[in-house]
Structure 1
């Protein structure tokens, strides 16, 4: 798991009722594929591999929210990626049970992104 101390420090100062859930989503993403890394961009934890995969929306107070920067272009069928914008898609987690239900899909998204980047 490629945890970054800069992101650890960000979490120390993160005051949000969804903090534990956001942390759990972070860990699920990092556990999904050893190629994925994390950093802070746009004042939020961002997951990267040869480009930006996703960033947390840190102001969400009723769920953990991830914005997949190029979500439209990630190959595969991911029913929990929401949105119809030009490129970005989002995925929300309302509880630990919801994360558990979506964890396999989240991991598949991470792997699909990394595999796609390898082909470029």
Structure 2
């Protein structure tokens, strides 16, 4: 599987977002680390506009330098992806979900924030095609927010 990587080392010689994520994952101790790495690959390959960096002490995926999907490693039952519109509340927070989720994968927290939980390698495999669909829809619906 070939990764879509948009980040390159910048002029100040600071690690690129991609390099930040690789360094983070190298040090990550998590019982589902291979599954986390697989979900990362799925997301990066789902849309050629996606870049990555570290936000909230976890890998985060951006479009046009705006965070849209971020890993969350807290909790005992696996790990989550948080689908969001950045750290500030938007006008969509108190409205219905930003998109119609035909996959049934998303658990809505607010109209602009949802989570998706993974608990095992089998769970990642079972959700793979629907994850690609949800990521694509989320990127499209939030691109101008």
- If the TM-score is normalised by the length of the shorter chain, which range does it land in? 0.7 to 0.9
RMSD: 2.3
CA distance in 1 between counterparts of 2:141 and 2:109 reads: 21
Number of paired residues? 120
User: Following superposition, which runs of at least 4 residues in structure 1 exceed 4 angstroms of deviation?
Assistant: 117-120
Q: TM-score, normalised by structure 2?
A: 0.71
Note the alpha carbon deviations across 1:26-52, whole angstroms, 9 max, x for none.
111111111111111111100111322
Larger C-alpha radius of gyration, 1 or 2? Answer: 2
With 73-82 and 38-47 compared, the bigger mean Cα shift is at 73-82
Unmatched 5+ residue regions in structure 1?
none
Unmatched 5+ residue regions in structure 2?
8-17, 86-92
Partner SS state of residue 65, structure 1? strand
Q: TM-score, normalised by structure 1?
A: 0.84
Q: Contact conserved, 1:49 with 1:117, CA < 8 A, in 2?
A: no
- Counterpart of 1:104 (choices 109, 114, 129) is 129
Q: 1:42 to 1:118 in 2, by over 3 A?
A: closer
Structure with more relative contact order (C-alpha pairs < 8 Å, separation 6 or more): 1
- Counterpart of 1:36 (choices 50, 55, 58) is 50
Structure 2 residue aligned with 1:7:
21
